[in-house]
Amino acid sequence: MTDRAPGLRERKKQRTRQTLSETAVRLFMEKGYDSVSVAEVAAAAEVSKPTLFRYFAAKEDLVLHQFADHEDEAARVVAGREDGESPLGALRRHFLEGLRRRDPVTGLCDHPAVLAYQRLLYGTPQLVARLYGYQERSERALAEALGGPVVRARIAAGQIVATQRILAEENVRRIVAGESADALEAVAVRTAKDGFRQLAEGVGRWYG
């Protein structure tokens, strides 16, 4: 059975949520995160402040809304993997495909709008701190998808999510420093393969 498409009410909520997030990000980029209040965002989006808070519990969430669809992405990849494919193999394949697509989540994207967003995100301590909450939820969802003993699944999920985060951060760092995505792709692919190999073999090979 396929999932039913969202109804009109839910689509309106999604559009409002997206509008609020886009308005906030634009203002934060123009004036600086700390210089823009939630009330200013609400006014620019033509909604009341209480209405804004019905959609977003905190100011930081206005920016991190773009990560919302990715919270359970790793879990979905594992759950939907091909027959005979291991969970780690599916996640490796998915990450490498993301690099080829220049998916911003992998960090290998030098589109000006993406770069501006990443500078806002990683240059704002409050946002970086809030991002870890999203990653914790991603870990929990992935651990559930992996299955098996709870602690073992949680440790594996934590290692996988951390590896993907570090790979993405390294790509962002190099692109912000001036490298193009095209020039960096071969290195990013090789580094990603090394990272997933380390996951597969364990840290004992290097630090045991």
> pLDDT tens digits for 38-54?
999 999 999 999 999 99
Please state, as a whole number, how many other Cβ atoms lie within 10 Å of the Cβ of residue 68.
13
What's this model's pTM, rounded to 2 decimal places?
0.85
Would you give the DSSP letter of residue 56? -
- Torsion angles phi and psi, residue 2, rounded to 5: -85, 155
Task: Copy the structure tokens of residue 142.
Answer: 């992935």
Task: Copy the structure tokens of residue 187.
Answer: 């290195």
Q: What is the pLDDT of residue 3?
A: 52
Q: What is the pLDDT of residue 58?
A: 93
Helices of type H across the chain: 8-31, 38-44, 49-55, 59-64, 73-79, 87-101, 112-122, 125-146, 150-176, 181-201, 204-207
Residues of the chain with pLDDT under 70: 1-6, 207-208
Residue count (the chain): 208
In 3D, which of 124, 83, 102, 82 has the Cα closest to residue 172? Answer: 102
Is 109 within 8 Å of 181 (Cβ atoms)? yes
pLDDT for 48-77, tens place per residue? 999 999 999 999 999 999 877 788 999 999
